[in-house]
Amino acid sequence: MQSSASDVLHEVFGYADFKPGQAEIINLLGSATNTLAVMPTGAGKSLCYQIPAILADRPTIVISPLVALMDDQVAGLRANGVDAACIHSGQTREENVANWRRVASGLAKLLYLSPERLMTQRMLEAIGALNPALFVIDEAHCISKWGSSFRPDYEQLSQLKTHFPNAAIGAFTATADKATRDDVAAKLFRGQGEIIVHGFDRPNLTLAVATKSDWKGQLASFLEGREGREGQSGIIYCLSRKFTEEVAAHLSDNGTDAIAYHAGQDASRRRANQDRFMSETGVVMVATIAFGMGIDKPDIRFVCHLNLPSSMEAYYQEIGRAGRDGAPADTMMLYGLDDMRMRRQFIEQDGEDQDHKLREHKRLDSLLAYCEASQCRRATLLAYFDETIEPCGNCDNCLNPPVVVDGTPQAQMLFDAIERTGEFFGAVHIIDVLRGADTAKIKERGHETLPCYGAGKDRTKIYWQAFIRQALAGRALSINIQKYGCLEITPMGRAIARGEEPFLYREIREREKTKRSKSSRKAHAAIAPENEDLLAKLKALRLSLSKERGVPAYVIFGDASLIEMATKQPTTLAEMSEINGVGPRKLESFGEMFLDLTKTRELEPHV
């Protein structure tokens, strides 16, 4: 009798029910329907293609962007008794040959490859002889030039339908706006397929944004701002390698178990740091965007950006690494004028494609508007992806609504200073002119004689910096990178200057404090206090086993499984098999060891 998708879910992976959206995608791929699936992080996309692959009578080829991700996926499948293989440069030739033979003989149902290795003539011919049933493309947004993470090696995958017309194609991503989705579908299956969008909302994430004033103090406040932060894993994103090292050193000096990760490190150090982060609890990874794609650590409790990300898509993807287990997690972004200038500069330096530059500037505009939004932060984020929700009650703007005031007089004062100085200076000089500063630069240019000189001296430098950020986010001003970051007045700004339009802005507070929701303080509310010691022992055993086998801790068991063990405290293998995530192979491999911990609770005397 042929197994069904539900049978595989129960008997191989040990789960009782599908998550929302999984069954639909599994059925589409199982019926050889080309499918692009957009699913929020933590929705269980891996099972959506692993189950059809197990049920298929021909092999499945999975295209993955990272060696580490391939290894982790294969380790996870093997832990559940599913034979899978990968071929990549991190293995010896003998290992790669052995893996290929397992696939060619039919022993391994899934083969993981990078796009670069797959799209060679030799590999295409070899795989053609296997007559694969399905190709799966992870991080599929990388295929599209419309996307924010375009990778030329990925675009070659648009040739798969030509090479393998009888194979279905499944593409998965958590991050793609409509233009990107349509482009990916057109390239991969030429309109002959389905696009399934299962929402972008991650309600367990608390969203917060603040202007950067004192990053050390603000970071300390964020890390201390929630009960139980100590011992939690998190990611802190920085823009440069140098800043990454500085932040990691600062945290380490102040008692945080922090490690740095960036492309300037040698590969062995990056791998060691990533392995430590994935296997241990309580480690804070301070990283550039070189770290993150494919990171499948479920218990990351916070993500903090100390610099502005490149776009809304990048921001969504990076915060999406938190709270993959569904438990509450916090996010915070700090940004300043320097971040805006540097991001604009990076865009202008990115090749000669002017259309691409225009798209990236518009993406950055959307992110800046999100930063300065006065309404629900989550609603603003999801609106970018064409999704509408009611105010969430769990972001900084909902918890502590900003006051919106009319700043038209200040805007007109600012625009007057910019225009009278020739739209040729950045924010620092313009603020000095407004505040009547006595600088050599002002005297050299005679700007102390302008009518606007000192007109804004009743406001602080911090106020004017924040005001300019909002004018930039509101598109009343722009930064001209070609003219070394000078401020220029946009048509909208000129309408405000003429009194034809008002300028409304968020009330500027010299010192901002972010309130945190009560729900965000309960990351471990799923476990009763009397069971916390048992959970700690279960986690210690998992960590020991993961180190012994050289795999991430979640490959042994996920946090949700351990919490259920600590709560239900099974005393027999039959009871242990009822725990979600405990399939037959894991029960055989690890059941007795974990049972030794859970069943001892029954023997403890009651007092």
pLDDT per position as a tens digit, 213-222: 899 999 999 9
Tell me how many degrees the CA angle 18-19-25 measures, rounded to the nearest 5.
Answer: 80
Strand partners, 193: none
| pLDDT single digits (tens) 308-366 | 998 888 899 899 899 988 889 999 999 988 888 899 888 888 877 787 787 788 788 88
Cα→Cα distances 466→128, 339, 446, Å: 59, 13, 26
CATH number belonging to domain 404-506 = 1.10.10.10
Give the residue-averaged pLDDT of 157-183: 89
What's the pLDDT at 481?
65
What share of the chain has pLDDT > 90, as a percent? 53
Please tell me the class of the 5-197 domain. Answer: alpha beta
Name the pTM for this structure: 0.71
b/e per residue 165-188 (b: at least 16 CB within 10 A): eebbbbbbbbbbbeebbbbbbebb
Q: Which of 9-18, 236-245, 409-418, 521-530 has the least mean pLDDT?
A: 521-530
Sign of CA dihedral 238, 241, 245, 246: negative
What's the pLDDT at 3?
74
d(CA 582, CA 282): 25
Give the residue-averaged pLDDT of 167-191: 88
d(CA 35, CA 336): 40
Which of 406, 461, 408, 473 minimizes the C-alpha distance to 430? Answer: 461
Instruction: List the structure tokens of 229.
Output: 């932060």
- Judged by DSSP in three states, 36 sits in strand
Quickly tell me which residue has 């004033």 as its tokens.
Answer: 213
Cα→Cα distances 305→216, 234, 264, 308, 331, Å: 13, 11, 20, 7, 8
d(CA 607, CA 605): 6
**DSSP-derived secondary structure letter, 207:** B
The yes-or-no verdict on residue 1 having pLDDT over 80 is no
d(CA 67, CA 331): 27
Q: What fold is seen in the domain 205-399?
A: Rossmann fold (3.40.50)
Q: Provide the residue ranges of all domains of the chain, joining segments of one domain with +.
A: 5-197, 205-399, 404-506, 527-603
| pLDDT single digits (tens) 448-458 | 999 999 999 99
What share of the chain has pLDDT > 70, as a percent? 93
Three-class secondary structure assignment of 411-429: HHHHHHHHHHCCCCCCHHH
Q: Tell me whether the CATH fold assigned to 5-197 matches the one assigned to 205-399.
A: yes
Give the residue-averaged pLDDT of 435-450: 95
- Judged by DSSP in three states, 502 sits in coil
d(CA 48, CA 54): 11
What's the pLDDT at 582?
93
The yes-or-no verdict on residue 606 having pLDDT over 80 is no
Sign of CA dihedral 507, 360, 479, 214: positive
| 576 Cβ contact partners less than 8 Å away, ≥ 6 residues apart | 565, 570, 582, 587, 591, 594, 595, 598
Q: How confident is the model at residue 131 (pLDDT cuts 50, 70, 90)?
A: very high
Contact yes or no for 340/469 (Cβ under 8 A)? yes
Residue 220: other Cβ atoms inside 10 A: 15
Secondary structure E strands in 337-495 = 404-406, 477-480, 486-489
Q: What is the dihedral of CA 248, 251, 252, 256, to 10 degrees?
A: -120
Give the residue-averaged pLDDT of 154-160: 88
Decide the pairing of beta strands 209-211 and 329-335.
Answer: parallel
CATH 3.30.70.20 matches 527-603: no
Contact yes or no for 527/567 (Cβ under 8 A)? yes
Quickly tell me which residue has 């995530």 as its tokens.
Answer: 581
| pLDDT single digits (tens) 36-82 | 999 887 788 899 999 999 999 999 999 987 777 788 889 999 999 99
Q: Is 444 exposed, middle or buried (0-12, 13-18, 19+ CB in 10 A)?
A: exposed
Quickly tell me which residue has 């259920």 as its tokens.
Answer: 564
d(CA 276, CA 264): 18
d(CA 451, CA 428): 18
